[in-house]
Amino acid sequence: MVSIQNIQELVTGRISFSEPLSRFTTFRVGGPADIYIEPATEEEICKLVSYFEDQKFPYIVLGNGSNVLISDEGIRGAVINLERSFGYMEINDDSVTAGAGILLSRFVDQCVQHGLQGVEMLAGIPGTLGGAIRVNAGAYGSEISDHLVEIKVVKNGKIAVMPREEGEFAYRSSALQTVIILEARFHFSPADPVVLRERRKELLLKRNMSQPTNVPSAGSIFKNPSGDFAARLIESCGLKGVSEGGAVVSEKHANFIVNIGDATARDILSLILKVQSTVFEQTGVFLEPEIQFIGFPGEEIRGLVNPPESPQGVTP
Protein backbone atom coordinates (compact mmCIF):
# COMPACT_ATOMS: atom_id res chain seq x y z
CA MET A 1 0.00 0.00 0.00
CA VAL A 2 1.39 3.40 -1.03
CA SER A 3 1.89 5.76 1.88
CA ILE A 4 1.62 9.52 1.42
CA GLN A 5 4.13 9.94 4.23
CA ASN A 6 6.64 7.73 2.41
CA ILE A 7 6.27 9.76 -0.79
CA GLN A 8 6.80 13.00 1.13
CA GLU A 9 9.97 11.56 2.63
CA LEU A 10 11.29 10.66 -0.84
CA VAL A 11 10.55 13.93 -2.62
CA THR A 12 11.41 17.52 -1.71
CA GLY A 13 9.66 18.96 -4.76
CA ARG A 14 5.99 19.82 -5.09
CA ILE A 15 3.38 17.15 -4.30
CA SER A 16 -0.37 17.59 -4.71
CA PHE A 17 -3.44 15.38 -4.70
CA SER A 18 -6.43 15.22 -7.06
CA GLU A 19 -4.55 17.64 -9.33
CA PRO A 20 -6.62 18.61 -12.42
CA LEU A 21 -4.61 17.62 -15.48
CA SER A 22 -6.43 19.88 -17.94
CA ARG A 23 -3.97 22.64 -17.03
CA PHE A 24 -1.08 20.39 -18.10
CA THR A 25 -2.36 19.37 -21.55
CA THR A 26 -2.50 21.39 -24.75
CA PHE A 27 -6.02 20.04 -25.43
CA ARG A 28 -7.02 21.66 -22.10
CA VAL A 29 -8.97 18.56 -21.08
CA GLY A 30 -8.36 15.77 -18.60
CA GLY A 31 -9.53 14.79 -15.14
CA PRO A 32 -7.47 14.68 -11.94
CA ALA A 33 -4.42 12.62 -11.06
CA ASP A 34 -4.52 10.88 -7.69
CA ILE A 35 -1.00 12.18 -6.98
CA TYR A 36 0.97 14.82 -8.87
CA ILE A 37 4.73 15.08 -8.19
CA GLU A 38 7.56 17.36 -9.30
CA PRO A 39 10.78 15.65 -8.16
CA ALA A 40 13.73 17.95 -7.56
CA THR A 41 16.67 15.66 -8.38
CA GLU A 42 17.64 12.53 -10.31
CA GLU A 43 18.07 10.71 -7.01
CA GLU A 44 14.50 11.55 -5.99
CA ILE A 45 13.18 10.18 -9.28
CA CYS A 46 15.09 6.92 -8.84
CA LYS A 47 13.82 6.47 -5.29
CA LEU A 48 10.28 7.39 -6.29
CA VAL A 49 10.18 5.01 -9.25
CA SER A 50 11.67 2.16 -7.21
CA TYR A 51 9.09 2.75 -4.50
CA PHE A 52 6.16 2.79 -6.93
CA GLU A 53 7.38 -0.33 -8.71
CA ASP A 54 7.90 -2.19 -5.43
CA GLN A 55 4.34 -1.24 -4.42
CA LYS A 56 3.01 -2.00 -7.95
CA PHE A 57 1.57 1.50 -7.99
CA PRO A 58 0.93 2.93 -11.47
CA TYR A 59 2.69 6.10 -12.58
CA ILE A 60 3.39 8.05 -15.76
CA VAL A 61 5.68 10.91 -16.76
CA LEU A 62 3.86 13.87 -18.27
CA GLY A 63 5.68 16.67 -20.05
CA ASN A 64 3.87 19.60 -21.60
CA GLY A 65 0.90 17.38 -22.47
CA SER A 66 1.09 18.19 -26.18
CA ASN A 67 0.81 14.68 -27.56
CA VAL A 68 -1.75 13.12 -25.23
CA LEU A 69 -5.45 12.80 -24.56
CA ILE A 70 -6.23 12.22 -20.87
CA SER A 71 -9.67 10.91 -19.96
CA ASP A 72 -12.27 13.02 -18.16
CA GLU A 73 -11.96 10.59 -15.23
CA GLY A 74 -8.25 11.37 -14.93
CA ILE A 75 -5.50 9.00 -13.85
CA ARG A 76 -5.56 6.50 -11.04
CA GLY A 77 -1.99 6.60 -9.85
CA ALA A 78 0.82 9.15 -9.93
CA VAL A 79 1.86 11.72 -12.51
CA ILE A 80 5.52 12.77 -12.48
CA ASN A 81 6.41 16.10 -14.10
CA LEU A 82 10.03 17.10 -14.80
CA GLU A 83 9.58 20.63 -16.19
CA ARG A 84 10.44 22.54 -13.02
CA SER A 85 13.75 20.88 -12.11
CA PHE A 86 14.87 19.45 -15.44
CA GLY A 87 14.46 22.50 -17.67
CA TYR A 88 18.18 23.31 -17.92
CA MET A 89 20.44 23.58 -20.96
CA GLU A 90 24.24 23.81 -21.32
CA ILE A 91 26.09 24.70 -24.54
CA ASN A 92 29.79 23.95 -25.05
CA ASP A 93 30.94 24.80 -28.56
CA ASP A 94 28.93 22.44 -30.81
CA SER A 95 27.83 20.14 -27.98
CA VAL A 96 24.52 20.70 -26.17
CA THR A 97 23.28 18.98 -23.01
CA ALA A 98 19.70 19.63 -21.95
CA GLY A 99 17.25 18.36 -19.36
CA ALA A 100 14.15 16.46 -20.45
CA GLY A 101 11.88 19.10 -18.94
CA ILE A 102 13.01 22.03 -21.07
CA LEU A 103 10.36 23.29 -23.48
CA LEU A 104 11.22 22.34 -27.03
CA SER A 105 10.63 25.93 -28.14
CA ARG A 106 13.31 27.21 -25.73
CA PHE A 107 15.71 24.45 -26.76
CA VAL A 108 15.32 25.39 -30.44
CA ASP A 109 15.65 29.12 -29.71
CA GLN A 110 18.89 28.66 -27.77
CA CYS A 111 20.42 26.48 -30.48
CA VAL A 112 19.52 29.03 -33.13
CA GLN A 113 20.89 31.96 -31.09
CA HIS A 114 24.20 30.12 -30.64
CA GLY A 115 24.52 29.28 -34.34
CA LEU A 116 23.91 25.55 -33.97
CA GLN A 117 22.21 24.04 -37.00
CA GLY A 118 19.86 21.07 -37.01
CA VAL A 119 16.75 21.68 -34.90
CA GLU A 120 15.38 24.93 -36.34
CA MET A 121 12.79 22.86 -38.28
CA LEU A 122 11.19 21.97 -34.90
CA ALA A 123 10.27 25.60 -34.24
CA GLY A 124 6.64 25.87 -33.17
CA ILE A 125 6.23 22.27 -32.04
CA PRO A 126 4.85 22.28 -28.47
CA GLY A 127 6.04 19.96 -25.74
CA THR A 128 9.21 19.22 -23.80
CA LEU A 129 12.51 17.86 -25.05
CA GLY A 130 11.95 14.53 -23.29
CA GLY A 131 8.59 14.03 -24.95
CA ALA A 132 10.01 15.02 -28.34
CA ILE A 133 12.81 12.46 -28.01
CA ARG A 134 10.44 9.73 -26.86
CA VAL A 135 8.27 10.07 -29.97
CA ASN A 136 11.16 11.13 -32.23
CA ALA A 137 9.44 14.38 -33.17
CA GLY A 138 10.21 15.76 -36.58
CA ALA A 139 9.20 18.14 -39.34
CA TYR A 140 10.18 19.00 -42.90
CA GLY A 141 12.20 15.83 -43.41
CA SER A 142 14.27 16.00 -40.20
CA GLU A 143 13.90 14.39 -36.78
CA ILE A 144 15.18 15.31 -33.34
CA SER A 145 17.18 12.07 -33.16
CA ASP A 146 19.31 13.12 -36.18
CA HIS A 147 21.81 14.99 -33.98
CA LEU A 148 21.39 13.03 -30.76
CA VAL A 149 24.52 11.52 -29.19
CA GLU A 150 23.27 9.91 -25.98
CA ILE A 151 20.36 9.90 -23.54
CA LYS A 152 20.44 9.71 -19.74
CA VAL A 153 17.50 7.69 -18.43
CA VAL A 154 16.09 6.00 -15.37
CA LYS A 155 15.84 2.29 -16.12
CA ASN A 156 14.80 -0.25 -13.49
CA GLY A 157 15.18 2.40 -10.83
CA LYS A 158 18.77 3.26 -11.76
CA ILE A 159 20.51 5.90 -13.86
CA ALA A 160 21.78 4.68 -17.23
CA VAL A 161 23.33 6.42 -20.24
CA MET A 162 22.20 5.08 -23.59
CA PRO A 163 23.97 5.80 -26.88
CA ARG A 164 21.69 7.03 -29.66
CA GLU A 165 21.71 3.63 -31.38
CA GLU A 166 19.99 1.95 -28.44
CA GLY A 167 17.06 4.33 -28.86
CA GLU A 168 16.05 2.48 -32.06
CA PHE A 169 14.56 5.64 -33.53
CA ALA A 170 12.07 5.39 -36.37
CA TYR A 171 9.23 7.51 -37.73
CA ARG A 172 7.47 8.94 -34.65
CA SER A 173 8.71 6.11 -32.45
CA SER A 174 11.60 4.91 -30.32
CA ALA A 175 12.56 2.15 -27.90
CA LEU A 176 12.33 4.57 -24.97
CA GLN A 177 8.75 3.82 -23.95
CA THR A 178 9.69 1.95 -20.75
CA VAL A 179 12.30 4.36 -19.38
CA ILE A 180 12.20 7.89 -17.97
CA ILE A 181 14.28 10.31 -20.03
CA LEU A 182 16.24 12.71 -17.81
CA GLU A 183 18.71 14.38 -20.12
CA ALA A 184 20.11 14.27 -23.66
CA ARG A 185 23.33 15.31 -25.35
CA PHE A 186 23.50 16.52 -28.95
CA HIS A 187 26.16 17.42 -31.48
CA PHE A 188 25.36 20.13 -34.03
CA SER A 189 27.08 21.76 -36.98
CA PRO A 190 27.91 25.47 -36.70
CA ALA A 191 26.03 27.94 -38.91
CA ASP A 192 25.36 31.65 -39.21
CA PRO A 193 22.83 32.61 -36.47
CA VAL A 194 21.30 35.21 -38.79
CA VAL A 195 20.59 32.56 -41.42
CA LEU A 196 19.18 30.20 -38.79
CA ARG A 197 16.92 32.89 -37.32
CA GLU A 198 15.55 33.65 -40.78
CA ARG A 199 14.95 29.96 -41.43
CA ARG A 200 13.18 29.56 -38.09
CA LYS A 201 11.03 32.60 -38.85
CA GLU A 202 10.04 31.17 -42.25
CA LEU A 203 9.09 27.82 -40.74
CA LEU A 204 7.07 29.43 -37.95
CA LEU A 205 5.15 31.53 -40.50
CA LYS A 206 4.54 28.45 -42.61
CA ARG A 207 3.31 26.52 -39.57
CA ASN A 208 1.05 29.34 -38.41
CA MET A 209 -0.49 29.66 -41.87
CA SER A 210 -1.20 25.96 -42.24
CA GLN A 211 -2.03 24.85 -38.68
CA PRO A 212 -4.57 26.00 -36.05
CA THR A 213 -2.03 27.40 -33.61
CA ASN A 214 -4.42 29.76 -31.81
CA VAL A 215 -6.80 27.13 -30.37
CA PRO A 216 -6.20 24.15 -28.05
CA SER A 217 -5.12 20.98 -29.86
CA ALA A 218 -2.61 18.16 -29.45
CA GLY A 219 -0.83 18.56 -32.76
CA SER A 220 -1.20 15.93 -35.46
CA ILE A 221 -3.69 13.25 -34.42
CA PHE A 222 -2.60 10.54 -36.87
CA LYS A 223 0.73 9.44 -38.30
CA ASN A 224 1.17 9.87 -42.02
CA PRO A 225 0.70 6.52 -43.79
CA SER A 226 3.50 5.41 -46.08
CA GLY A 227 3.49 7.46 -49.26
CA ASP A 228 0.58 9.66 -48.27
CA PHE A 229 -0.61 12.28 -45.80
CA ALA A 230 -3.22 11.75 -43.09
CA ALA A 231 -4.55 15.28 -43.62
CA ARG A 232 -5.13 14.65 -47.33
CA LEU A 233 -7.05 11.45 -46.66
CA ILE A 234 -9.18 13.05 -43.95
CA GLU A 235 -10.01 16.03 -46.14
CA SER A 236 -10.79 13.79 -49.13
CA CYS A 237 -13.44 12.08 -47.00
CA GLY A 238 -15.19 15.39 -46.37
CA LEU A 239 -14.37 15.45 -42.67
CA LYS A 240 -13.11 19.01 -42.24
CA GLY A 241 -15.41 20.85 -39.84
CA VAL A 242 -17.05 17.66 -38.54
CA SER A 243 -17.65 17.89 -34.79
CA GLU A 244 -18.50 15.97 -31.65
CA GLY A 245 -19.58 18.24 -28.82
CA GLY A 246 -16.87 20.87 -28.44
CA ALA A 247 -14.31 18.99 -30.57
CA VAL A 248 -13.94 19.88 -34.25
CA VAL A 249 -11.82 18.65 -37.16
CA SER A 250 -9.87 21.79 -38.04
CA GLU A 251 -10.84 23.63 -41.21
CA LYS A 252 -7.23 24.77 -41.44
CA HIS A 253 -5.51 21.38 -41.17
CA ALA A 254 -7.55 18.18 -41.34
CA ASN A 255 -5.13 16.18 -39.17
CA PHE A 256 -5.77 18.52 -36.23
CA ILE A 257 -8.71 18.25 -33.86
CA VAL A 258 -9.33 21.46 -31.91
CA ASN A 259 -11.14 22.26 -28.70
CA ILE A 260 -13.43 25.19 -29.46
CA GLY A 261 -13.87 25.92 -25.77
CA ASP A 262 -16.02 23.30 -24.08
CA ALA A 263 -14.82 19.96 -25.44
CA THR A 264 -14.46 16.96 -23.16
CA ALA A 265 -11.98 14.15 -23.61
CA ARG A 266 -14.96 11.97 -24.52
CA ASP A 267 -15.88 14.39 -27.34
CA ILE A 268 -12.35 14.28 -28.70
CA LEU A 269 -12.06 10.49 -28.49
CA SER A 270 -15.43 10.05 -30.24
CA LEU A 271 -14.33 12.36 -33.04
CA ILE A 272 -10.99 10.58 -33.46
CA LEU A 273 -12.81 7.26 -33.75
CA LYS A 274 -15.25 8.74 -36.28
CA VAL A 275 -12.43 10.13 -38.44
CA GLN A 276 -10.45 6.91 -38.30
CA SER A 277 -13.41 4.67 -39.18
CA THR A 278 -14.67 6.96 -41.97
CA VAL A 279 -11.25 7.13 -43.65
CA PHE A 280 -10.91 3.35 -43.39
CA GLU A 281 -14.37 2.71 -44.81
CA GLN A 282 -13.87 5.08 -47.73
CA THR A 283 -10.21 4.47 -48.60
CA GLY A 284 -9.13 1.24 -46.94
CA VAL A 285 -6.29 3.09 -45.17
CA PHE A 286 -6.05 2.60 -41.42
CA LEU A 287 -4.76 5.78 -39.79
CA GLU A 288 -2.56 5.02 -36.81
CA PRO A 289 -2.84 7.55 -33.95
CA GLU A 290 0.20 9.69 -33.21
CA ILE A 291 -1.09 10.79 -29.80
CA GLN A 292 -1.29 8.74 -26.61
CA PHE A 293 -4.52 7.89 -24.82
CA ILE A 294 -4.23 7.89 -21.04
CA GLY A 295 -6.80 6.87 -18.43
CA PHE A 296 -9.28 5.26 -20.83
CA PRO A 297 -10.54 1.68 -20.40
CA GLY A 298 -8.75 -0.69 -22.75
CA GLU A 299 -11.88 -1.64 -24.64
CA GLU A 300 -12.55 1.99 -25.55
CA ILE A 301 -9.24 2.52 -27.32
CA ARG A 302 -8.42 -0.99 -28.54
CA GLY A 303 -9.85 -0.29 -31.98
CA LEU A 304 -7.66 2.78 -32.36
CA VAL A 305 -4.49 0.72 -32.59
CA ASN A 306 -5.78 -2.55 -34.03
CA PRO A 307 -6.88 -2.24 -37.68
CA PRO A 308 -10.07 -4.12 -38.60
CA GLU A 309 -10.37 -6.23 -41.73
CA SER A 310 -10.36 -4.25 -44.95
CA PRO A 311 -13.85 -3.00 -45.88
CA GLN A 312 -15.50 -4.87 -48.69
CA GLY A 313 -14.74 -3.43 -52.10
CA VAL A 314 -11.81 -1.31 -50.91
CA THR A 315 -8.20 -2.27 -51.48
CA PRO A 316 -5.68 -0.67 -49.10
69, amino acid identity? L
C-alpha to C-alpha distance for 307 and 48, rounded to whole angstroms: 37
76 is catalytic: no
With a CB cutoff of 8 Å and minimum separation 6, the contacts of 255 are 220, 221, 222, 229, 230, 231, 234
Is 290 one of the catalytic residues?
Answer: yes
Q: Which is the catalytic residue, given 220, 244, 250, 266?
A: 220
Type of residue at 298? G
C-alpha 192: how far from chain center = 30
Phi/psi region, residue 204 (left: phi>0; alpha: psi -120 to 50; beta: rest), is alpha
Instruction: Please give the torsion angle defined by the CA atoms of residues 96, 88, 59 and 39, in that order, rounded to the nearest 10 degrees.
Output: 140
The CA distances from residue 260 to 111, 205, 214, 267, 292, in Å, are 34, 23, 10, 11, 21
Cβ within 8 Å of residue 131, ≥6 positions away: 63, 64, 66, 67, 104, 137
Asked if 304 and 270 touch (Cβ cutoff 8 Å), the reply is no
Given the residues 106, 172, 199, 207, the one annotated as active site:
172
- The residues annotated with a catalytic role in the active site are 172, 220, 290
